């Protein structure tokens, strides 16, 4: 009886609220919104329920409030309490832009390098990614972390020099971090002797620069008759910056011509490297690898270790490449940080200690080639650890000692236009 009287009173009042339509099963808070078909079905049920309602009805209520812009089709029906969840209140999926800080200068690619502006690494970054937003880092590891933390999109770091050899620090960092090699760039090194304006070579008492730069210019400095002390500095451009900032009139720096322009120094001598074939090889690092191809020359870098005795494992690795006519461009050994020494007990000769090494190899082949895949499959059978650091296009540009100064001029022009 109570139900019948309630229904009668509800139909008698034109402003009565009909029973709310709810889903049959309760939806959890994290459930997805209704599909369009569910929404249309719910609307059809509402219209059918209120087909006999008076025309003078208030606008439908959404989430407890009246919607002022209701459509006429729904405005003619009784008050509706749909309790809908606004789309604007739903959680938005995370995207890359949420994890990556916005670039400071438009949408340029952000490239991290070690050193200060004017360093050769900055010129290498400009050659690898023209018009990029170069980000200087004070240490090699900071450049790795900048890419891993989405502060930078790429990193360009040196791994070897034609005169000074390998940069061992970066080989160790390649193994420690999970970045991928996506390219390489070879940059001719063009050293200059820089000093404050008005300083003559006869007044110099010392020359500062990176240790490799000092070694690469040793013979030329002696031929110039400079009886000066030579002191190591963190990097070449940093040495030029220090001379300019401290106003050292008895000190010269070995750096690039761009460093002279940036820090207001004069060039006392140009091209003072002992060997004109002084080239540094840089690798380009990214968070994700690139897809290897076969339409252009590719290079692949790997690192492996073994836990067996003797040198036969290294011989087998080299044989796997030689059998498939794959050329090696580099082989480097580094101490195994977690297992630097291996003890071997022999009843006849006693206990022997062997150093354990990680081996880095670069070979000229793409991982898209079957021969490269078969070679690594064979190597994996007798190594305890194998990792592909990257398969990437080779830098096929010819070595030209004048190209370094050209790149420096391009960087200067880009900087002047942006300012």
Per-residue pLDDT of 87-127, as tens digits, reads 455 565 655 455 544 444 445 899 999 999 999 999 999 99
- The secondary structure of residue 52, as a DSSP letter, is T
Residue 174 has pLDDT above 90, yes or no: yes
**Sequence-distant (≥ 6) Cβ neighbours of residue 97 within 8 angstroms:** none
282 annotated active-site = yes
Q: What is the pLDDT of residues 358-389, one digit of tens each?
A: 899 999 999 999 999 999 999 998 888 899 99
Decide if 104 contacts 81 (C-beta within 8 A).
Answer: no
Average confidence (pLDDT) over 148-173: 93
User: Rounded to an integer, what distance in angstroms lies between the CA atom of residue 256 and that of residue 188?
Assistant: 11
Between 312 and 182, residue with greater pLDDT: 182
User: Rounded to an integer, what distance in angstroms lies between the CA atom of residue 122 and that of residue 128?
Assistant: 10
280 annotated active-site = yes
Asked which of 68-82, 252-266, 301-315, 324-338 is least confident by mean pLDDT, the reply is 68-82
Identify the pLDDT of residue 93.
60
Average pLDDT over all residues of the chain: 78
- Catalytic one of 140, 144, 282, 363: 282
- Catalytic one of 220, 280, 300, 383: 280
User: ∠ CA(204), CA(210), CA(214), 5° rounding?
Assistant: 55
**Sequence-distant (≥ 6) Cβ neighbours of residue 413 within 8 angstroms:** none
Identify the pLDDT of residue 356.
76
Alpha-helical runs (H) found in 177-235: 211-216, 218-223
């Amino acid at each position: 009886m109570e139900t019948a009287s309630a229904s009668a009173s509800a139909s008698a009042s034109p402003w009565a609220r009909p029973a709310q339509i709810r889903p049959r099963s309760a939806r959890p808070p994290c459930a997805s919104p209704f599909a369009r078909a569910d929404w249309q079905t719910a609307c059809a049920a509402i219209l059918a329920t209120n087909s006999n309602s008076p025309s003078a009805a208030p606008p439908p209520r959404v989430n407890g409030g009246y919607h002022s812009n209701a459509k006429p089709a729904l405005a003619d029906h009784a008050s509706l309490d749909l309790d809908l969840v606004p789309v604007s209140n739903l959680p938005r999926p995370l995207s890359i832009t949420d994890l990556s800080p916005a670039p400071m200068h438009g949408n340029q690619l952000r490239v991290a390098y070690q050193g200060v502006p004017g360093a050769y690494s900055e010129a290498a970054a400009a050659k690898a990614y023209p018009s990029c937003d170069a980000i200087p880092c004070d240490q090699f590891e900071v450049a790795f972390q900048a890419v891993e933390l989405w502060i930078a999109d790429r990193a360009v770091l040196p791994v070897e020099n034609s005169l000074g050899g390998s940069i061992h620090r970066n080989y160790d960092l390649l193994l420690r971090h999970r970045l991928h090699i996506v390219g390489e760039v070879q940059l001719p090194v063009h050293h200059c002797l820089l000093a404050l304006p008005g300083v003559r070579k006869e007044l110099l008492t010392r020359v500062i620069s990176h240790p490799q730069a000092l070694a690469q210019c040793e013979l030329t400095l002696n031929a110039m008759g400079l009886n000066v002390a030579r002191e190591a500095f963190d990097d070449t451009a940093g040495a030029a910056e220090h001379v300019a900032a401290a106003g050292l009139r008895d000190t010269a720096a070995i750096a690039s011509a761009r460093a002279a322009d940036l820090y207001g120094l004069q060039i006392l001598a140009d091209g003072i490297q002992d060997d004109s074939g002084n080239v540094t090889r840089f690798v380009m690092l990214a968070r994700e690898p690139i897809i290897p191809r076969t339409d252009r020359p590719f290079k692949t870098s790997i690192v492996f270790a073994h836990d067996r005795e003797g040198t036969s494992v290294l011989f087998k690795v080299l044989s796997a490449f030689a059998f498939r006519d794959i050329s090696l461009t580099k082989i480097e050994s580094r101490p195994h940080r977690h297992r630097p020494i291996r003890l071997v007990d022999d009843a006849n000769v006693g206990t022997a200690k062997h150093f354990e090494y990680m081996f880095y190899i670069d070979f000229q082949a793409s991982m898209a080639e079957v021969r490269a895949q078969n070679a690594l499959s064979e190597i994996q059978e007798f190594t305890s650890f194998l990792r592909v650091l990257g398969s990437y296009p080779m830098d096929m540009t010819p070595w030209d000692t004048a190209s370094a100064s050209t790149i420096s001029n391009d960087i200067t022009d880009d900087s002047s236009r942006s300012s």
